[in-house]
Structure 1
């Protein structure tokens, strides 16, 4: 089949709420204890809305009044708790996600990991789920400080064989496709809204469906029937 498929991670391959939900609630409780936040409860949907953002963008939107040192401490606490939960076996890929990646790889696709996560998060998760050998490249926002995901794509895209295709669940992923003029597979089972996937060429409701969508779109420029 050939070509390169760029994959978002959280909300596309990894069901992050198994780790992020408990970690977020614990970090927020610490902010309350320290007097930086008022007590409140959060639904899973509200917490999930922050997934896919870089830490700086998430805190700037969620609690812009927090001093940088405080949100950085809270962000680090979330990361540490997620790391602990991952090591304890609490992490979960979406059903069929790894088999889908293996299938695309066997069919000749180059697979590239492209996420707004940190480098340590990327490395720990690729190791925990045995995904490292499936990706030819693994890039994260920390590798390109200050750049949006679509700008990162522009920095790295020439390294990989064409045609290119983006798979993801958030507006950051759709922007990669729009700015790069490449097809986009939108994952409705992830954490984005319908508006965030409004320009997807194909929508999928499960991870295994991605393989068929890639086969259908490979070789088609964005917007072509």
Structure 2
């Protein structure tokens, strides 16, 4: 019998996304400069990591106010394609200790669920390449839900999973899932969110290795 379900965000929680995202976004931004859509500037990592975890349309229309749909879709595809190339070239990485942490929770009898603002191909290729696909009882990608907010996706799928439930993530979108559903949350301070985004988290952790103990405290 399941001991409960742990919902995990992916980018910035399990996946050290900047290794792939940073060069891909810089390349897409250079293309926007060439198109005369934005002014040249050096994008710092601190600026780039702000956009991790956002749904794609919200990210581009906030990052480049006034950008038209055809342009942001082209730029988004450039980023996705470059990240995919980097992943298959072996340039991606999980945060240290992530695989061991997931294996520990799986062995303890928890169901693990993947909940991310990504697309299905991204999810499937990443989990397969990193060798963690077999650890997840379910995977939920925002693309398959019409990119509705993450908290709405959770509310649709939560009844299909064992209780108690915990949400684990590094951004405000993740903590909002838990706050709206009145379930505990673990804020990943090692991720890419500003500390203020995790103020409503039930517990914060400084590394993936601390997550199992935090879950034991919560449920």
* TM-score range normalised by the length of the shorter chain: over 0.9
Please report how far the alpha carbon of residue 38 of structure 1 lies from its aligned counterpart in structure 2 after TM superposition: 1.1
1:199, distance to aligned residue in structure 2 (A): 0.9
Which position in structure 1 is the counterpart of 2:217? 216
Gaps of 5+ in 2: none
Secondary structure in 1 matching 2:51:
coil
Secondary structure at the residue paired with 2:10?
A: coil
Q: What is the CA–CA distance in structure 1 between the aligned matches of 2:102 and 2:96, rounded to whole Å?
A: 12
SS state at 2:58 partner? helix
Tell me the secondary structure at the aligned position of residue 168 of structure 2.
Answer: strand
Aligned residue for 1:88? 89
* Residue equivalent to 1:29: 30
CA deviation map 1:5-45 (0-9, x unaligned) = 00000000000000000000001001111222111011101
Contact 2:6–2:165, Cα closer than 8 Å, also in 1:
yes
**1:64: how far off?**
2.2
How many residue pairs get matched?
A: 218
Residue in 2 that maps onto 1:197: 198
The separation in 2 between residues aligned to 1:2 and 1:74, in whole angstroms, is 43
What is aligned with 2:113? 112
Aligned to 1:9: 10
TM-score (norm 2): 0.98
DSSP-derived class of the 2:208 partner = coil
Please state how far the C-alpha of 1:81 moved relative to its aligned partner.
Answer: 0.2
Structure 1: which 4+ aligned runs deviate by more than 6 Å? none
Distance in 1 separating the partners of 2:144 and 2:72: 21
Separation of aligned partners in 2, 1:215 and 1:143: 32
How big is the shift at 1:146?
A: 3.9
- Identify which range, 26-35 or 154-163, moves more after superposition: 26-35
Aligned residue for 1:208, secondary structure, equals helix
**CA drift at 1:193:** 1.0
Structure 1's unaligned 5+ residue stretches are: 219-225
Between the aligned partners of 1:138 and 1:131, the Cα distance in structure 2 is: 12
User: For structure 1, which segment, 137-146 or 6-15, has the greater mean C-alpha deviation from structure 2 after superposition?
Assistant: 137-146
Partner Cα distance (2:42, 2:25) in 1: 11
Residues in 2 aligned to 1:45 and 1:127: alpha-carbon distance in whole angstroms: 29
Normalising by the residue count of structure 1, what TM-score does the alignment of the two structures yield? Answer: 0.95
1:223 match: none
Partner of 1:222: none
State the match for 1:52 in structure 2.
53
The reply on whether 1:122 has 2:123 as its aligned counterpart is yes
Report Cα offsets for 1:34-90 as digits up to 9, x if no partner: 222111011101100000001101011111211110010000000000000000000
